[in-house]
């Protein structure tokens, strides 16, 4: 079991991993891509560096982590985080990793779906593991096209006899059982009076009892829904020690909002690592 799994290898994740490693902890970093820095052409406001491109800064961070012997898996999407005895299991597109603590440094994106907002809690869910049972033996839609959709489908298939995947106009990225119906058209509307009753696409309407959203990649928002973490708007809520309301799960950087800048992400990572080390010491 790892001491900490850090989700994200942006400035917050790598800073956190460096401090954790230097405090003597066993840490693994999992990330699916370079996050916000991949899109930054030039940074001119970071202490000590007059000018650097985002991808170059990212490379420097990875190099520093590797030089400390930190394992960073750079193409591994985290799909869910589950509570287990003594910690958590981080589930990725490749495997499952047990860990005592988790640091969420996953940037700002979240896959909350504007079309689904009206029926959130009234037929629209972001977590098959949490809410799938409510729809057992019912007709459900699963919106998504990638690894997250496939992960949610595995859960739903065991509970609901009738699952239709709606890719919302995107190509299906994952191979799924040919028995599952797939609607590739764009979704135009969710309808219902008090609760969700159906989905309309460009050419047809479908009656459904529930709709699970698994668009894009999992984000801090998805993990929050799975574990019952407190959110405020699109940010995770943490205490003064960067701990969420779930003991052992920490977050920092753009994921918790505030100043969306590299300097703050780096600082959050260092402070969270210090708190995580303390938490681990108290548990040992
Ligand atoms: C166009 C642009 C220009 C900017 N210019 C500046 C600037 O000049 N100066 C400045 O200080 N800041 C700038 N920023 C902001 C800065 O890039 C961010 O504040 C900073 O990168 C946040 O760091 P982070 O580590 O919190 O998140 P990110 O850098 O976004 O890293 C998030 C990490 O989480 C990973 N992740 C997310 N979800 C998953 C998942 N499900 N599974 C696995 N991994 C996951 C991502 O792959 C990534 O590795 C700019 C941002 C943009 C977009």
Which helix (DSSP H) or strand (DSSP E) does residue 79 occupy?
Answer: strand 78-84
Across 37-46, 182-191, 220-229, 232-241, the highest mean pLDDT is recorded for 182-191
Domains present along the chain, CATH in parentheses: 2-110+218-283 (3.50.50.60), 114-213 (3.50.50.60)
Taking alpha carbons only, the member of 176, 120, 136, 124 closest to residue 153 is 176
Q: Are 159 and 144 in contact (CB under 8 A)?
A: no
Asked if pLDDT for residue 172 goes beyond 60, the answer is: yes
CA of 10 to the centre of ligand 1 (A): 6
Q: d(Cα 4, Cα 269) in Å, to the nearest integer? A: 13
Best substitution site from 7, 10, 62, 102 to test ligand 1's pocket, by max atoms within 8 Å of Cβ? 10
Could you count the other beta carbons within 10 Å of the beta carbon of residue 34?
21
Ligand 1 near 132 CB (within 6 A): no
pLDDT score for 88: 97
Percent of the chain past pLDDT 90, that is, above it, reads 81
Ligand 1 near 12 CB (within 6 A): yes
How confident is the model over 187-216, as pLDDT tens digits?
Answer: 999 999 999 999 999 999 999 999 999 998
Average pLDDT of every residue of the chain: 94
What's the pTM?
Answer: 0.89
Taking alpha carbons only, the member of 282, 279, 283, 263 closest to residue 15 is 263
CA of 29 to the centre of ligand 1 (A): 15
């Amino acid at each position: 079991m790892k001491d900490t799994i850090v989700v994200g290898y942006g400035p917050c994740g790598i800073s956190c991993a460096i401090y954790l490693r230097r405090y003597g902890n066993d840490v693994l970093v999992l990330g699916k891509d370079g996050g916000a820095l991949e899109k930054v052409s030039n940074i001119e406001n970071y202490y000590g560096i007059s000018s650097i491109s985002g991808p170059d800064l990212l490379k420097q961070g990875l190099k520093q982590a590797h030089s400390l012997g930190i394992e960073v898996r750079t193409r591994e999407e985290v799909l869910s985080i589950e509570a287990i005895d003594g910690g958590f299991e981080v589930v990725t597109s490749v495997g499952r990793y047990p860990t005592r603590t988790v640091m969420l440094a996953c940037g700002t994106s979240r896959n909350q779906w504007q079309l689904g907002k009206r029926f959130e809690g009234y037929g629209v869910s972001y977590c098959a593991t949490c809410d799938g049972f409510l729809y057992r033996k019912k007709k459900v839609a699963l919106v998504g096209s990638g690894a997250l959709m496939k992960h949610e489908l595995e859960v739903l298939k065991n509970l609901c006899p009738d699952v239709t995947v709606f890719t919302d106009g995107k190509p299906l990225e994952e191979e799924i059982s040919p028995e599952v119906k797939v609607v590739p058209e764009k979704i135009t509307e969710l309808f219902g009076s008090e609760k969700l009753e159906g989905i309309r696409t460009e050419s047809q309407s479908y009656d459904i009892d529930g709709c699970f959203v698994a668009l894009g990649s999992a984000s801090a928002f998805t993990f929050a829904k799975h574990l019952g973490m407190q959110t405020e708007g699109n940010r995770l809520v943490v205490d003064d020690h960067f701990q969420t309301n779930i003991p052992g799960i920490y977050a920092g950087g753009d994921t918790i909002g505030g100043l969306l800048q590299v300097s703050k992400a780096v600082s959050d990572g260092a402070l969270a690592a210090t708190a995580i080390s303390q938490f681990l010491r108290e548990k040992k």
